[in-house]
Structure 1
């Protein structure tokens, strides 16, 4: 029977043909937990399962990124717990300053075509852009995964998004995924595999693809998968900690999808998600002129090199508007180092941005830009729930890095085409 990408990967891992709705138990290629979830997983291992034990330390990754560096003694205690656990079991710990968990899992080869990866973080779906069946789990499931090296899954039904054409000037992949979430709603893909195929993928670098997969969970999807084409294989070469299986990442001809969507990239416009939902999406033009207090360019959604390059191109020779704060946070030390070499950090700093790296910061309301009552902000993050990034009366609007940078110049929402007349794929990174 013809299979979707999700069905092919899980069938290969289970050693048998599987179908939607079936429960399978499979070996995992990696397990990840961050400082907001790892301490609870460790507690579960100790209190519910009679003590800590790790099946395969080489496949367990802990990351301190959400509140990094620590902002209070209580958080510091949790970080200490993670460090002790990692030393005791010999698993990988990315300590403060290394980067955001999802960027690190990609950079260091824990995610690759055909792999099955779980993380105690909902945005683990990001790695689907590399053809990995990757999904978020709770801390209890993460504990079981670390202890046994296995986990159960219900084989998901699938939605197919056929991407064609090319983006217009100043339109980014963030605008594409906001458009899709706006159309399907927060629960339009609940426990489904969102699978993106078609020639339109060629118009997106790996950075752009990761943004799309990162946000499929905002419409309820279990995974967000893309084929491992030549661009993906070039990226994972020399990184992958297992054997990539690109053949598993292409759906079979005639595979059954619950629904199929034709997405013509040239029709996508700059979009914005209004409070308090990533699905509350309208065109940027509808809110043009709305004044803003803060701009944040970064996070596991849009803190990669391409994002900083686009922001720097727009802000070069310009200044952030008086009365508006602009924060740019590279998703990892490696991204920051490359941005430093290419002059993006200097450009953003000269424009008046606060530039740093390796932390979730404002996204989760930890530090580096927590919003106060009544403040309005443009974030390139994935969520804008009430109170997530500061005071519950603040408002976060989700946009692309291009829209964020352009709006920072004027201190109000503007269409990025006012400052960028190039297609993103044509910009030299």
Structure 2
């Protein structure tokens, strides 16, 4: 009987021949925490009476959720992380370096075939480059930091076969929102989502990260893709590590398989207050929006900023709206500056903030007012997600956000694409 990607990686990392629903203890290739979870992991580390980490070169902490610190109490937590990182000689990404899920692959810490945990639910992002990566709690993170191992229940796999090619003006964000709307927020709970097909092969690696990032929004444990030529080229550009790619066997057993043709997909919007409350833009176009956000670990990459800049070039943000742009990393911000992309966004009226998660999680850098509508490229729109439970958050692609900022209302971006 053949194996899925998830079964193969967990078999290799546990040294056992495993299948779905087996319980294993597996070796970790990389471990990561962010400033919302690392302080709790440090406390658990101390409570476990540990003194050393399993490998300082394979443990990172990232200050990105409240970066720079907006509050005295947060500053104390950041200092705990800096002290721990210094004492244990682990990797630390400090304020302004960027979002954890951009930095981990961008800085070459993970490669195809790896097994990775992070104390953040969107750690599933790295599945786009053939990595089994998943979110864990702070106590499990501490155990991983100490031992370099963690236990898993091997997930069943939900296979998404995506045929056709996305139409012009429709992006990977629209595709993943559509899939989440179709299978619902718990339609793939504790499964490995495996994305295959012509539509995936056509996407850039930046686009693929967007899809894997949001696997958790359908309940999935990870969002896996096979490694093709684009993947290998991207990984070799960012990492000097040796690796072996992992593909599913042709006779692998799947818990569920769904097939789609994406050729006629239109831009999608997730409406408040759940990510699976999805509809085509045509059903919600015209709703006034007071704020837009382009960024986050889902859509703050260079391609996302370029797409927005292409629409906003020579345009102005509507007088009744405001746009916040948060590049996903310092490197992306610098590249966007050098090529003029940020200049276009700023001239249009955007406020560019420090690379980080602030607007998405509602810690700072853009908390909306009561009753305001926000159109965001983020991955969640739960009530209160952006820091105000009386605001309404809609999710869409960078193109949809950019177009909506010109008109001041939810707008089909294809109206502005030449």
Shift of 1:245: 1.2
> Could you tell me which residue of structure 1 aligns to residue 303 of structure 2?
306
> Could you tell me which residue of structure 2 aligns to residue 335 of structure 1?
332
Shift of 1:53: 2.5
Return 5+ residue gaps in structure 1 as ranges.
422-429
1:262 and 2:259 matched = yes
Cα deviation 1:364-413 (Å, max 9, x = unaligned): 00111111111110010000010110221100001110100000000001
Note the 1:157-196 alignment, pairs <5 A. Answer: 157-196=156-195
Structure 2 counterpart SS, 1:319: coil
Shift of 1:269: 1.2
Note the 1:313-352 alignment, pairs <5 A. Answer: 313-352=310-349
> Could you tell me which residue of structure 1 aligns to residue 150 of structure 2?
151
Indicate which of 356, 361, 364 corresponds to 1:359.
356
1:36 and 2:33 matched = no
Structure 1 counterpart SS, 2:353: strand
Contact 1:372 1:390 in 2 (8 A): no
1:13 and 2:13 matched = yes
Q: How many residues align?
A: 418
Structure 2 counterpart SS, 1:267: coil
Separation of aligned partners in 2, 1:356 and 1:41: 28
Shift of 1:159: 0.8
Note the 1:8-407 alignment, pairs <5 A. Answer: 8-47=8-47, 49-240=48-239, 242-246=241-245, 248=246, 250-407=247-404
Contact 2:64 2:96 in 1 (8 A): yes
Cα deviation 1:66-123 (Å, max 9, x = unaligned): 0000001100000000000000011000000000000000101122100000000000
Separation of aligned partners in 2, 1:55 and 1:288: 52
Return 5+ residue gaps in structure 2 as ranges.
none
Cα deviation 1:218-276 (Å, max 9, x = unaligned): 11000100011000100110533642211x1x111021111111122212210000011
Contact 2:156 2:254 in 1 (8 A): yes
Are the structure 2 counterparts of residues 238 and 318 from structure 1 closer, same or farther at C-alpha, using a change threshold of 3 Å? closer
Separation of aligned partners in 2, 1:342 and 1:258: 46
> Could you tell me which residue of structure 2 aligns to residue 427 of structure 1?
none
Contact 1:42 1:52 in 2 (8 A): no
Separation of aligned partners in 1, 2:344 and 2:243: 38
Cα deviation 1:8-55 (Å, max 9, x = unaligned): 1111112221111001111100000000000000001112x1244211
Q: Which moved more, 1:52-61 or 1:118-127?
A: 52-61
Structure 1 counterpart SS, 2:33: strand
> Could you tell me which residue of structure 2 aligns to residue 424 of structure 1?
none
Are the structure 2 counterparts of residues 261 and 368 from structure 1 closer, same or farther at C-alpha, using a change threshold of 3 Å? same
Separation of aligned partners in 2, 1:21 and 1:319: 53
Stretches (4+) displaced over 4 A: none
